[in-house]
């Protein structure tokens, strides 16, 4: 099983609107994760629906899926493909709990967001929690392909030395 993997990260409209793009990317780069792809897009309904698949409707209900699609379409997002040692797990640890009010300090959501599921439900909106990150290696492969063509992904050295991570 390979230890070097890729993970998709989406900086959602709330992260973009609040000017947190650089801060969030900086956190990933400081850990040694490499950016393999990066772009800003304003998702269409079709594109957002490819991301939030019918599987989400099965797990959380169609209403939740519809709210998440609407949230993703509400402004520009930054799509990032990160690469590194067990990148999916590393990224998930860094972003914190899906519900921002439960995210620990030191995580992206814990440091920059505070909304709750209860609040989002009371407003009948999707949860604005700054970032999306792939939940598994298998999910990452599918999600990266939704947001990036093979030509948009790059294999490069990212400032590593023989004293850091050997790729």
| pLDDT per position as a tens digit, 41-71 | 999 999 999 988 777 556 767 888 899 899 9
Determine, yes or no, domain membership for 99.
yes
Planar angle of CA 39, 66, 17, nearest 5 degrees: 40
Q: Find the mean pLDDT for residues 146-158.
A: 89
Distances (CA, A) of 120 to 20, 111, 164: 21, 19, 42
Q: Is 143's pLDDT higher than 90?
A: yes
Which pLDDT score is estimated for 1? 65
Active site residues: 132
**Which ranges constitute the DSSP H helices of 4-61?**
13-17, 21-30, 45-51, 54-60
| Residue 125: CATH number of its domain | 3.30.70.141
Q: Find the mean pLDDT for residues 16-38.
A: 97
Determine, yes or no, domain membership for 22.
yes
Work out the percent of the chain whose per-residue pLDDT is above 70. 90
Q: What is the pLDDT of residues 96-132, one digit of tens each?
A: 999 999 999 999 999 999 999 999 889 998 889 999 9
Determine, yes or no, domain membership for 76.
yes
Determine, yes or no, domain membership for 158.
no
Determine, yes or no, domain membership for 166.
no
| Residue 109: domain span | 4-149
Determine, yes or no, domain membership for 144.
yes
Work out the percent of the chain whose per-residue pLDDT is above 90. 76
pTM of the model: 0.89
Determine, yes or no, domain membership for 163.
no
Which pLDDT score is estimated for 161? 53
Determine, yes or no, domain membership for 155.
no
Cα gap 61→47, rounded to integer Å: 19
Which pLDDT score is estimated for 3? 86
Domain count, the chain: 1
């Amino acid at each position: 099983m390979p230890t070097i993997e890729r993970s998709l990260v989406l900086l959602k409209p709330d992260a973009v609107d609040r000017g947190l793009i650089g801060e969030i990317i900086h956190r990933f780069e400081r850990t040694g994760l490499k950016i393999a792809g990066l772009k800003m897009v304003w998702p269409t309904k079709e594109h957002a629906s490819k991301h939030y698949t019918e599987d989400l409707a099965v797990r959380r209900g169609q209403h939740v899926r519809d709210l998440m699609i609407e949230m993703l379409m509400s402004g520009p997002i930054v799509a990032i493909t990160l690469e590194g040692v067990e990148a999916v797990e590393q990224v998930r640890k860094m972003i914190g709990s899906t519900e921002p009010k439960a995210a620990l300090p030191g995580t992206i959501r814990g440091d920059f967001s505070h909304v709750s599921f209860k609040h989002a439900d009371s407003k009948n909106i999707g949860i604005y929690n700054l970032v999306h990150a792939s939940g598994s290696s298998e999910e990452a492969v599918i999600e990266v392909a939704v947001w990036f063509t093979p030509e948009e992904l790059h294999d490069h050295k990212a400032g590593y030395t023989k004293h850091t991570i050997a790729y």
